[in-house]
C-alpha cells in the first residue's frame, strides 16, 4: 500500500516535471496592444537597386515583403527622409536640397511606400531623418539650431507625401541614433498640431532609452512623445522606460546577415522584445538587401535583391520567420498576460483580437544559432521540452488550432520554413506540444495563412562587362540613373533645354553644401557602379564642370563605399577647371601618381577616358592620350565611379565602361 502510494506520487511528480504547464486566459485581463512588425528602407540607400529590377521580378519581391498572407506581410514600414548624406550604404536625396527648393519625386522611398500601401492599405508608415541638407545646419553639422526651420522641413515632407502621393504618414522620428533636443521635439509637436496632424505620433529618440529619464521630469516633453523607441535593445528595456507607461518599441533591430543564424536572431527577438521588454513593435534594418553586397552590412536584409541586371533575387529565411507572427496578428491585437518564458528555454507570446481569435507563437532558438550582430547575447540554455498550454476564458471551447512550423537547420542548410501542419486538435482545452531546438511554431484560429510563391527567379549573373548610359532614356518616376549608387553627394537626372543637342539629358551632382551628416561623408562626391571584382577597365565619360572652384573625376577599382567611403582607394583621374589634371590612388586625392596640364575649363564639355590594364594605367582627354604607362599594383579591384572634387554642380554624360 505504501509502496503504491509512493509510486503514484512519483508518477505524478514525474508527469509534472516532464510537461511544463502554461495558461492562456483572456479572463485575467489583457496585456499591451501589438503595434506591429516591420522593416526599414533606408539608413541608407538599402533599397537602391530594387527600383531597377525588371518586371515581373520587382513585383514578386514586393509581394514577398508586403502582400498580406503571402510572405513577410509586414505591418510597419519605416523609410529614411533623405538628407543628401551618407547614411550607411549610400546617400538618399532630400526633398529640399536648398532652402528655396522643394521636390517630392526624388529617390525611391515614395514609390516604395506606395507599393507597400497598394498591397496592404493598413500598413503603417514611419519617416525618420538620418541626415539633413546643409542649409538646415547653417554652417554647423547640427539640425537643432533653428527648431522651427527643422520642424518646417520635416512637416513639408509629411505634407508632400499626402499632396503628391496620397500617403498618410503615421509616425515621425527625430534624428536617427543622434542626440535629441527637447526644445525641437516640443516645437515639432506644436507645429504638427497647428497644421492639423494631431494624430501623427512622434517616436523618440531612436537611440538609447535615455529620453525616458527626460520625459519623466519634463511634462511637455512627456506629452510630445507618443512612443519611446530604442535601437538594438537586446530584448530589454530599462526602468525609466517602463515608468513612462508609453508604448515601447524596438524601433531598429536585427541588422544581421540573412542566413539561418540571422533568422534565429529575428525569431528570438520578435518574441522576446515583448516577453523581456514589453516592446510592442520591432523593426528590422533592413527591409531588403538591395545594395552592392561589398558595401557595409551586405545582405543584412530580410531578403536579398541585389542584381537588377539579372533579375535574380532570393527569399531568405527571415521572410518566413516574420510570417509566423505577421500572417496571424494585426496591429491592435492584445498580448495575453502571460510570462512568456518557456521553462526549459525559449519563449512564447499569445495574442488575441478580443473577438475570440487566438494566435500563439513559440520559439526555441539556441544561443549559438540566434546571435544578432548586436548587442552581445548572454549565455543561456534551451532543451527539448514538452509544453502544455491550458486554454481558458474565451479560448476554452476551441477544438483545434492551425499549426505552422519552422525548424532552422544548421548542418545541411535544409531548414523547414513556414510549413503548414494543418489543424491541431485540442481536447478539453489542452494543447500539448513536444518542442525541439531551433523551432518556431504558430498555433492560431486564423485559417488565412499562406506560403506564397512565384516562378523561380532568373539565375544570378555578374554585372554586365560592357555597360553604357547616355541618360537619354529614363526610368520614371525615379530621379537616379540605374545602378549608380551615390556614396557622397546626389547624382540626379538633369535636363538642359537650351543645350544645342548633344547634352540635353545628363546626370548632375546637385549637392552644393556639406550636409548635416550622419556618417563621415567624404569631402568630395562619388557615385559607384559595376562589379566589385573588376580589375581591368576602359571607362569613358563626358564631364561638364559648372564652377571654377570645381573638379571632376572618373575612376576604377574603388575599394570601399558606404560609411567607409572617405578612405576609398582606387585609380582616380581628376581634371580641374584651372587646366590641370591629377591621377591619384585615393578619393581623398593625396596619394598622387601623376599630375600635369590638361587645358580643361569650366562650362565646357570634355571627354575623359581611363584605361586600367593590369599594372599599366593611362588616361585620355577628348580622345587623345594625356598620360600613359604609369605602373601601379594597387588597389587590385573594385567598382567604377564618377564624382566631383567638392560639393559643386557638375554634369556627366555618355558614361561607358568595359571591364573584366
Ligand X SMILES: *[C@@H]1O[C@H](CO)[C@@H](O)[C@H](O)[C@H]1NC(C)=O
Active site positions, annotated = 177, 252
Given 147, 229, 301, 311, the residue binding ligand X (CB under 6 A)? 147
What's the closest the beta carbon of residue 500 comes to ligand X, in angstroms?
Answer: 6
Binding mask 15-44 for ligand X (x = CB under 6 A): -----------------x------------
Q: Which is nearer to ligand X, 193 or 339 (CB)?
A: 339
What's the closest the beta carbon of residue 454 comes to ligand X, in angstroms?
Answer: 22
* Residue sitting closest to ligand X (CB): 356
Residue 573's DSSP bridge partners are 554, 583
* 434 is a contact residue toward ligand X (CB under 6 A): no
* 499 is a contact residue toward ligand X (CB under 6 A): yes
Q: Which is nearer to ligand X, 567 or 634 (CB)?
A: 634
Beta pairing, strands 201-207 & 171-172: parallel
Name which of 316, 278, 282 is nearest 300 in CA terms: 316
Q: Which is nearer to ligand X, 145 or 588 (CB)?
A: 145
Q: Which is nearer to ligand X, 5 or 412 (CB)?
A: 412
Q: Which is nearer to ligand X, 295 or 398 (CB)?
A: 398
What's the closest the beta carbon of residue 554 comes to ligand X, in angstroms?
Answer: 15
Could you say which residues in the range 43-72 bind ligand X, by CB under 6 A?
none
Could you say which residues in the range 582-621 bind ligand X, by CB under 6 A?
603, 611, 613, 616, 618
What's the closest the beta carbon of residue 412 comes to ligand X, in angstroms?
Answer: 4
Q: How many residues does the chain have?
A: 660
Given 453, 460, 496, 567, the residue binding ligand X (CB under 6 A)? 496
Q: Which is nearer to ligand X, 196 or 422 (CB)?
A: 422
What's the closest the beta carbon of residue 548 comes to ligand X, in angstroms?
Answer: 13
How many residues touch ligand X (CB under 6 A)? 30
Could you say which residues in the range 627-646 bind ligand X, by CB under 6 A?
628-629
Binding mask 321-360 for ligand X (x = CB under 6 A): ------------------x---------------xxx---
Binding mask 96-135 for ligand X (x = CB under 6 A): ----------------------------------------
Cell of 161: 507625401
Quote the CA–CA distance of 421 and 520 in Å, as a whole number: 50
* 447 is a contact residue toward ligand X (CB under 6 A): no
Name which of 519, 634, 583, 483 is nearest 48 in CA terms: 483
3-state secondary structure of 326: helix
Residues 6+ apart with CB under 8 A from 32: 247, 274, 278, 280, 334, 335
Q: Which is nearer to ligand X, 29 or 196 (CB)?
A: 29
Q: Which is nearer to ligand X, 455 or 498 (CB)?
A: 498
Region of 130-138, 177-185, 384-392, 547-555 interacting with ligand X (CB under 6 A): 177-185
What's the closest the beta carbon of residue 400 comes to ligand X, in angstroms?
Answer: 6
Q: Where are the beta strands (DSSP E) in 232-291?
A: 247-254, 279-285, 288-289
* 145 is a contact residue toward ligand X (CB under 6 A): yes
What's the closest the beta carbon of residue 503 comes to ligand X, in angstroms?
Answer: 7
Name which of 401, 405, 380, 378 is nearest 389 in CA terms: 401
Q: Which residue has the cell 501623427?
A: 200
What's the closest the beta carbon of residue 144 comes to ligand X, in angstroms?
Answer: 4
Name which of 123, 124, 136 is nearest 97 in CA terms: 136
CA distances from 448 to 326, 349, 357, 411, 431 (A): 11, 20, 12, 32, 21
What's the closest the beta carbon of residue 543 comes to ligand X, in angstroms?
Answer: 12
What's the closest the beta carbon of residue 89 comes to ligand X, in angstroms?
Answer: 29
CA distances from 314 to 43, 201, 259, 290, 440 (A): 22, 35, 11, 11, 21
* 144 is a contact residue toward ligand X (CB under 6 A): yes
Strand order in the sheet with 639-644: 485-488, 525-529, 639-644, 552-558, 569-575, 580-586, 592-597
3-state secondary structure of 217: helix
CA distances from 639 to 65, 330, 590 (A): 29, 43, 20
Region of 13-21, 300-308, 497-505, 518-526 interacting with ligand X (CB under 6 A): 497-505
* 263 is a contact residue toward ligand X (CB under 6 A): no
Q: Which is nearer to ligand X, 339 or 578 (CB)?
A: 339
Q: Which is nearer to ligand X, 110 or 274 (CB)?
A: 274
Name which of 112, 105, 127, 115 is nearest 43 in CA terms: 127
* 368 is a contact residue toward ligand X (CB under 6 A): yes
In three-state form (DSSP H/G/I as H, E/B as E, the rest C), the secondary structure along 70-106 is: CCCCCCEEEEEECCCCECCCCECCCCCCCCCCCCCCC
Cell of 106: 526624388
In three-state form (DSSP H/G/I as H, E/B as E, the rest C), the secondary structure along 131-188 is: CECHHHHCCCCCCCCCHHHHHHHHHHHHHHHHHHHCCCCCEECCCCCCCCCHHHHHHH
Region of 5-13, 18-26, 95-103, 142-150 interacting with ligand X (CB under 6 A): 142-150
* 556 is a contact residue toward ligand X (CB under 6 A): no
Q: What 8-state DSSP symbol labels residue 341?
A: B
Judged by the rule CB under 6 A, the positions of this chain that interact with ligand X are 32, 144-145, 147, 181, 183-184, 242, 278, 339, 355-357, 368, 412, 414, 425, 445, 496, 498-500, 603, 611, 613, 616, 618, 628-629, 651
Amino acid at each position: 500500500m505504501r509502496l503504491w502510494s509512493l509510486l503514484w506520487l512519483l508518477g505524478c511528480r514525474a508527469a509534472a516535471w516532464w510537461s511544463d504547464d502554461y495558461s492562456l486566459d483572456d479572463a485575467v485581463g489583457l496585456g499591451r496592444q501589438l503595434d506591429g512588425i516591420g522593416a526599414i528602407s533606408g539608413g541608407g540607400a538599402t533599397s537602391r537597386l530594387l527600383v531597377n529590377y525588371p518586371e515581373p521580378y520587382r513585383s514578386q519581391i514586393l509581394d514577398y515583403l508586403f502582400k498580406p498572407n503571402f510572405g513577410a506581410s509586414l505591418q510597419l514600414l519605416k523609410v529614411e527622409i533623405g538628407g543628401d548624406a551618407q547614411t550607411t550604404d549610400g546617400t538618399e536625396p532630400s526633398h529640399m536640397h536648398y532652402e528655396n527648393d522643394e521636390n517630392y519625386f526624388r529617390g525611391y522611398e515614395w514609390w516604395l511606400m506606395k507599393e507597400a500601401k497598394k498591397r496592404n492599405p493598413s500598413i503603417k508608415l514611419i519617416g525618420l531623418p538620418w541626415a539633413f541638407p546643409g542649409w538646415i545646419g547653417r554652417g554647423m553639422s547640427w539640425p537643432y539650431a533653428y527648431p522651427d526651420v527643422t520642424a518646417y522641413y520635416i512637416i513639408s515632407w509629411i505634407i508632400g507625401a499626402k499632396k503628391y502621393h496620397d500617403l498618410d504618414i503615421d509616425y515621425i522620428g527625430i534624428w536617427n541614433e543622434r542626440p535629441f533636443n527637447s526644445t525641437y521635439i516640443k516645437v515639432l509637436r506644436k507645429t504638427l498640431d497647428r497644421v492639423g496632424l494631431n494624430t501623427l505620433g512622434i517616436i523618440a529618440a531612436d537611440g538609447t532609452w535615455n529620453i525616458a529619464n527626460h520625459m519623466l521630469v519634463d511634462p511637455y516633453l512627456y506629452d510630445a512623445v507618443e512612443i519611446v523607441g530604442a535601437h538594438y535593445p537586446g530584448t530589454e528595456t530599462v526602468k525609466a522606460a517602463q515608468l513612462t507607461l508609453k508604448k515601447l518599441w524596438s524601433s531598429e533591430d536585427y541588422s544581421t546577415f540573412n542566413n539561418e543564424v540571422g533568422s534565429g536572431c529575428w525569431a528570438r527577438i520578435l518574441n522576446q522584445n515583448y516577453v523581456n521588454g514589453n516592446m510592442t513593435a520591432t523593426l528590422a534594418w533592413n527591409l531588403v538587401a538591395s545594395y552592392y553586397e561589398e558595401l557595409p552590412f551586405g545582405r543584412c536584409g530580410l531578403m536579398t535583391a541585389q542584381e537588377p541586371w539579372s533579375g535574380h533575387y532570393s527569399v531568405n529565411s527571415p521572410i518566413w520567420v516574420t510570417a509566423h507572427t505577421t500572417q496571424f496578428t494585426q496591429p491592435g491585437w492584445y498580448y495575453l498576460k502571460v510570462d512568456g518564458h518557456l521553462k526549459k528555454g525559449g519563449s512564447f507570446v499569445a495574442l488575441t483580437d478580443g473577438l475570440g481569435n487566438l494566435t500563439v507563437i513559440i520559439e526555441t532558438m539556441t544561443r549559438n544559432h540566434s546571435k544578432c550582430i548586436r548587442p552581445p547575447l548572454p549565455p543561456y540554455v534551451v532543451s527539448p521540452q514538452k509544453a502544455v498550454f491550458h486554454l481558458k476564458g474565451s479560448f476554452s471551447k476551441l477544438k483545434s488550432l492551425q499549426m505552422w512550423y519552422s525548424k532552422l537547420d544548421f548542418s545541411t542548410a535544409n531548414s523547414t520554413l513556414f510549413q503548414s501542419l494543418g489543424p491541431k486538435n485540442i481536447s478539453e482545452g489542452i494543447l500539448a506540444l513536444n518542442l525541439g531546438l531551433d523551432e518556431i511554431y504558430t498555433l492560431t484560429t486564423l485559417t488565412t495563412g499562406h506560403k506564397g510563391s512565384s516562378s523561380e527567379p532568373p539565375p544570378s549573373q555578374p554585372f554586365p562587362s560592357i555597360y553604357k548610359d547616355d541618360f537619354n532614356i529614363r526610368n520614371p518616376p525615379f530621379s537616379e540613373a540605374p545602378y549608380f549608387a551615390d556614396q557622397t553627394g546626389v547624382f540626379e537626372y538633369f535636363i538642359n533645354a537650351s543645350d544645342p543637342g548633344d547634352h540635353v539629358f545628363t546626370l548632375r551632382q546637385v549637392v552644393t553644401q556639406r550636409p548635416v551628416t550622419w556618417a563621415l561623408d567624404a569631402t568630395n562626391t562619388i557615385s559607384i557602379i559595376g562589379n566589385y571584382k573588376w580589375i581591368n577597365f576602359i571607362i569613358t565619360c563626358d564631364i561638364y564642370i559648372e564652377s571654377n572652384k570645381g573638379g571632376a573625376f572618373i575612376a576604377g577599382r574603388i575599394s570601399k563605399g558606404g560609411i567607409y567611403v572617405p578612405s576609398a582607394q582606387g585609380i582616380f583621374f581628376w581634371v580641374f577647371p584651372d587646366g590641370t589634371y591629377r591621377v591619384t590612388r585615393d578619393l581623398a586625392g593625396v596619394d598622387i601618381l601623376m599630375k600635369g596640364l590638361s587645358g580643361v575649363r569650366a562650362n565646357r564639355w570634355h571627354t575623359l577616358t581611363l584605361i586600367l590594364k593590369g599594372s599599366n594605367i593611362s588616361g585620355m582627354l577628348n580622345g587623345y592620350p594625356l598620360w600613359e604607362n604609369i605602373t601601379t599594383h594597387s588597389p587590385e579591384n573594385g567598382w567604377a565611379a564618377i564624382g566631383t572634387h567638392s560639393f559643386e554642380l557638375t554634369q556627366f554624360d555618355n558614361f561607358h565602361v568595359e571591364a573584366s
